[in-house]
Amino acid sequence: MTTPTDTSPAPEPVPGRAGSPAPDRRSWLRDHSELGVCVMLLALGVLVLTDALTMDVDITQRGPVGPKTVPIVVGAGLLVIAALLAVDVLRGGRGEAEGGEDVDLSEPADWRTVLLLSGIFLGAAALIEPAGFPVAGALLFWGAAFALGSRRVDRDPLIAAVLSLLTYVVFDKLLGVPLPGGPLMGVL
């Protein structure tokens, strides 16, 4: 005589009872860390919309679309993306881990380079008004190249100066975007 085999699944263990696996120790926020990006997008969208809606526009200055249109569309888009991303994360969606070719995820962050680049950027921002864009831009480009590892002092300053002057001429002269020229205003 054969006995029937039971193919039903075993009952799920109840957390906290003897014989059940230990509950997962990671916090809910760590499992849903992508929600931080949602909060950032939400804050940015609210900021853009608030700025756009409080913009003082003279009716004679605007055309058929107006200067408020693009910021309102961008702000609304940021809010929609924040909401869609939050729904995806709460439903269990997770971003893929970084899998770049030249990225070693086991290495710590290079804070020296980050701090150097931050200092160079802030220094260029402080120098742009008194020294002008060509000088501040050249220091920015040269400093960024140095911070990222280039040690060619024979060519880097020259490339930075040419790149900065070219950027100044394109924006100031060709596109009509006024940039401070500084002491070089009479020369350029």
CA dist., res. 50 & res. 42, Å (int):
12
Greater pLDDT, 151 or 30: 151
Cα–Cα nearest to 148, from 108, 105, 116, 100: 116
> How is residue 183 written in tokens?
């002491």
DSSP 176: -
Instruction: Give the CB-side neighbour count of residue 21, counting CA atoms within 13 A.
Output: 4
> How is residue 148 written in tokens?
């990222």
DSSP characters for 130-167?
HH-HHHHHHHHHHHHHHHTT---TTTHHHHHHHHHHHH
Cα–Cα nearest to 137, from 113, 114, 161, 158: 161
CA dist., res. 29 & res. 132, Å (int):
46
- Cβ atoms of 155 and 163 closer than 8 Å: no
Question: Which pLDDT tens digit goes with each residue over 49-106?
Answer: 999 888 887 666 656 677 788 899 999 999 999 999 999 988 887 777 666 566 666 7
Residue 5 pLDDT level (bands cut at 50, 70, 90): low
- Cβ atoms of 71 and 55 closer than 8 Å: yes
CA dihedral 10, 16, 22, 23 (to 10 degrees): 100
DSSP 188: -
**Mean pLDDT computed over 140-159:** 93
Per-residue pLDDT at 181? 87
The overall longest dimension of the chain from CA atoms, in Å, is 107
